[in-house]
Amino acid sequence: MERRASETARTEALRAEQAHVSMLYDRLDTVRERAERALGEEYARGTPGGTHQARFERDVSSHEYARRVTQLSGVERGLCFGRVDDTGGDTYYIGRVGLRDAHDELVLIDWRAPAARPFYTATPGDPGPLVRRRHLHTRGRTVVDLDDEVFDLARMSEPDRRTLVGEAALMAALRRGRTGRMGDVVATIQTEQDQVIRSGLPGALVVQGGPGTGKTVAALHRAAYLLYAHRETLQRRGVLVVGPNALYLRYIGHVLPSLGETDVVLTTAGELYPGVRATASDEPGAAAVKGDLRMVEVIKGAVRDRQRVPSGDLEVLIDVKTSLRDGVEVVVERMALRVDHATCVRARERARAVRGPHNVARKLFVDSALTALALDEARQLDQPLDEEDLRYAKAALWRMASVRTALNDLWPPLTPERLVAELLADPGLLASAAGSHLGPGELAALARPAGAPWTTGDVPLLDEAAELLGEDSSAARAAERAARRARRDDELYAQGVLEIADVTEMLDARALADRHDSGGTALTTAERAARDRHWVYGHVIVDEAQELSAMAWRTVMRRIPTRSLTVVGDVAQTGSAAGARSWGEMLDPYLKGRWREARLLVNYRTPAEIMEVAADVLKAVAPDQEPPTSVRDGEAPPRALRVRRADLPRALPELVMSELAEVGEGRTAVLTPDARHREIAALVPDAASALTADALDSPAVVLTVTQSKGLEFDSVVVVAPEEILTQSPKGGQDLYVAITRATRRLTVIHEGELPSVLARLA
């Protein structure tokens, strides 16, 4: 009887919520159609080209409409997911975007708006103004379930009391099988995560938390929140999210669009230097040296070494007379110009004294050398030179190939790519550049053959070199002057457009001019920022930040002089030999202790039984670190299987098959020591690997532990833990990472004795 009554109440509540949600989708359709129509009209307003003014107007408004259409399309799934009833008797609905009805009444509150905050912060102990929080679960546009948390039953109306329904929304969310892509958690953000998400924009926030505590998910929601709360600042300068590798970026790539945000640059630490996409990684020895701050001095040394003077006097042969013979120009007289050693040294010191970048100072060196050569030429020809003659003589000399070659040999124009590639491939150059800064073992670790692919550890070296080399700027300066003139015109014009169109809320004149600066192709802020090494972002989020070396932090900090940063990671998971042992060690050189730390302590991913195994490993390798507490129990106890290496080809595929059957729609990952990935991947040919396009979508995947950083799988099979433990000085941390990728099941396959840190599985 009672059961029937509660069923009826549930149906009643579902019906009422469905009516509201259907109204919201109708409204979404209407605004989306309106934006699409406006966009279509913008496109129809003329063929490409047209007047400057027409092009500009079209670019600006079409970009805004396109953004709005993308935003409204991204929020279709789970448009409305929450409702709150407050003590004043009011009810609000919370969703991915804010919507108003035809009478301009707010019918859906954006989850990032201050009014939505109680939905995330209310707890039974501190409910704030809430009487009830309700989660709405939808499939497509249909409301399929509801969860209620009641904070004050006494204040609820009788009909509302009757319709109370639910089971904890968080648990329902956590039990879902893994799809291979991270999803947003906007409906179930927890209070401590909410504090991270809404922490102020200025300054640096470090989010330290164990595996599965929602650091990544909180950081991405923070990006969306900051773009909402500080749209003006951040849309112009952009938000940069740095992740560990391309696979990981694909894994998290859906979260921001599902929250209606696309204006974020997602990149890896290997791509921070525009034009280079480094994917290879260094051996631990090389990684440790490349990531060390002593490399600043080594790169400085490498640049200085390229500013040479000859050991004796400089001698250059020039052609003074040529004549035509059978239509071919032949040299009839040559002259040797000479500049004495001391003058060469003075020319170099003068150029160095301006402390400009190498390619800029080079002009000064070339100028001094040309003056000395021209004076010698005049002396030999016994021709007096006035200032005008001197200028002419220098220009004539610079046109001669022999002069250019000689001077370029002494002070070559250099790109960062050339400097670093030549440095690492030439033990002599390397030893000279390093001086006393590196020992013989470190030099040997750095050396590599010419033509080797760029590694992630090279990127900070390239960035450092770019700072020291600068660009040959005379042409660039002229272009900049012209651009500044055009930009002033654009700004004045943009101001006019704003006044006419009254769109001041969306963009300011500078942002409009910025858009237009891109040559009419309306690049987004994100696109322009990603191409420009000098771009200064409005906010930078670094995920898996414990893996960044001290050198990599220099590269990141150059992109954010305001130090408006979110640093997300776990120093207990550091796998890179050059990574962080503590946050202070990495950040204090830039932040001088001025950073705030938030700690996340609850693991939403790994069940308690598996986390106990991980905790044993952590205790052995980093006894000062606390493992997080799991929020739920598992379905199957973790286990260890001993399989002789010779039997692995038969046993592993069988195990993967049975795990796939266990997890149904979920995903299974085989995690291997770095050195054995190829061999083990070959044993499971149907599984994807990090290099295949379906790495995230395939039911089974074989990855190295390093590649699995930040990811998660329903079932994890760790192969050869004994080798993972010894593969690098951080092997223990690697094993900890591997174990904590599991959301439901863990199997460890060991070939020899079970390592003592896994004794719990014996």
Ligand X SMILES: Nc1ncnc2c1ncn2[C@@H]1O[C@H](COP(=O)(O)OP(=O)(O)OP(=O)(O)O)[C@@H](O)[C@H]1O
In whole angstroms, give the CA distance from residue 538 to residue 265: 11
124: exposed, middle or buried (Cβ count in 10 Å: 0-12, 13-18, 19+) = exposed
Which window, 22-30, 212-220, 499-507, 575-583, contacts ligand X (CB under 6 A)? 212-220
Question: Which CB sits closer to ligand X, 371 or 733?
Answer: 733
Beta bridge partners of 132: 85, 150
| 752 has binding-site annotation | no
Give start and end residues of each alpha helix (H) in 45-167: 52-74, 117-121, 158-162
In whole angstroms, give the CA distance from residue 299 to residue 422: 12
User: In angstroms, how far is CA 653 from the centroid of its own chain?
Assistant: 35
Question: CA distances (Å), 634 to each of 179, 430, 591, 631, in order?
Answer: 19, 53, 41, 10
User: In the bound complex, what is the minimum distance in angstroms from residue 566's beta carbon to ligand X?
Assistant: 12
| 216 has binding-site annotation | yes
User: In the bound complex, what is the minimum distance in angstroms from residue 519's beta carbon to ligand X?
Assistant: 39
Question: CA distances (Å), 58 to each of 69, 236, 485, 500, in order?
Answer: 16, 19, 22, 14
Tokens of 584: 């202070």
Question: Which CB sits closer to ligand X, 221 or 677?
Answer: 221
Q: Give the number of other CB atoms < 10 A from CB of residue 13.
A: 21
Phi/psi region, residue 520 (left: phi>0; alpha: psi -120 to 50; beta: rest), is left
In whole angstroms, give the CA distance from residue 250 to residue 7: 42
188 binds ligand X (CB under 6 A): yes
Q: Which of 61, 190, 574, 747 binds ligand X (CB under 6 A)?
A: 190
475 contacts 287 by C-beta, under 8 angstroms: no
Question: Which CB sits closer to ligand X, 111 or 604?
Answer: 604
Q: Which of 62, 138, 213, 258 binds ligand X (CB under 6 A)?
A: 213
Q: Which residue is nearest to ligand X (CB)?
A: 214
Give start and end residues of each alpha helix (H) in 130-242: 158-162, 169-175, 191-197, 215-229, 231-237
Question: Which CB sits closer to ligand X, 710 or 731?
Answer: 710
> What's the one-letter identity of residue 737?
V
82 binds ligand X (CB under 6 A): no
Stated as kind and residue range, the H or E segment containing 145 is strand 142-150
Rg (alpha carbons) of the chain, rounded to whole number: 32
Question: Which CB sits closer to ligand X, 180 or 731?
Answer: 180
Question: CA distances (Å), 645 to each of 108, 482, 497, 704, in order?
Answer: 59, 68, 72, 18
User: In the bound complex, what is the minimum distance in angstroms from residue 712's beta carbon to ligand X?
Assistant: 6
Question: CA distances (Å), 272 to each of 275, 278, 310, 560, in order?
Answer: 9, 9, 37, 13
User: In the bound complex, what is the minimum distance in angstroms from residue 697's beta carbon to ligand X?
Assistant: 16
User: In the bound complex, what is the minimum distance in angstroms from residue 614's beta carbon to ligand X?
Assistant: 10
211 binds ligand X (CB under 6 A): yes
Question: Which CB sits closer to ligand X, 369 or 580?
Answer: 580
Q: What share of the chain is helix, strand, coil (3-state, %, to 5)?
A: 50, 15, 35
Tokens of 482: 């012209």
Q: Which of 61, 193, 630, 747 binds ligand X (CB under 6 A)?
A: 193
| 209 has binding-site annotation | yes
User: In the bound complex, what is the minimum distance in angstroms from residue 188's beta carbon to ligand X?
Assistant: 4
User: In the bound complex, what is the minimum distance in angstroms from residue 170's beta carbon to ligand X?
Assistant: 5
| 87 has binding-site annotation | no
Query: Which residues in 136-175 contact ligand X (CB under 6 A)?
Result: 170, 173-174
User: In the bound complex, what is the minimum distance in angstroms from residue 575's beta carbon to ligand X?
Assistant: 12
Question: Which CB sits closer to ligand X, 213 or 371?
Answer: 213
Q: Which of 57, 147, 463, 712 binds ligand X (CB under 6 A)?
A: 712
Q: Which of 17, 376, 442, 570 binds ligand X (CB under 6 A)?
A: 570
| 215 has binding-site annotation | yes
Q: Pattern of binders to ligand X over 574-613, x per CB under 6 A?
A: ------------------------------xx--------
User: In the bound complex, what is the minimum distance in angstroms from residue 734's beta carbon to ligand X?
Assistant: 13
> What's the one-letter identity of residue 457?
G
Torsion angle of C-alpha atoms 585, 587, 592, 596, degrees rounded to 10: -110
Q: Which of 14, 185, 587, 660 binds ligand X (CB under 6 A)?
A: 185
DSSP letter, residue 240:
E
Q: Which of 164, 217, 256, 295 binds ligand X (CB under 6 A)?
A: 217
209 binds ligand X (CB under 6 A): yes
SS3 125: coil
Which window, 213-221, 319-327, 581-589, 669-677, contacts ligand X (CB under 6 A)? 213-221
Which window, 211-219, 322-330, 394-402, 425-433, contacts ligand X (CB under 6 A)? 211-219
216 binds ligand X (CB under 6 A): yes
132 binds ligand X (CB under 6 A): no
| 211 has binding-site annotation | yes
Question: Which CB sits closer to ligand X, 22 or 179?
Answer: 179
Q: Which of 95, 214, 416, 755 binds ligand X (CB under 6 A)?
A: 214
Query: Which residues in 734-753 contact ligand X (CB under 6 A)?
Result: 740
Torsion angle of C-alpha atoms 143, 149, 153, 157, degrees rounded to 10: -20
Question: Which CB sits closer to ligand X, 508 or 712?
Answer: 712
Binding site for ligand X (CB under 6 A): 170, 173-174, 185, 188-190, 193, 209, 211-217, 570, 604-605, 710, 712, 740
Q: What residues are designated binding site?
A: 209-216
Q: What residues are designated binding site for ATP?
A: 209-216
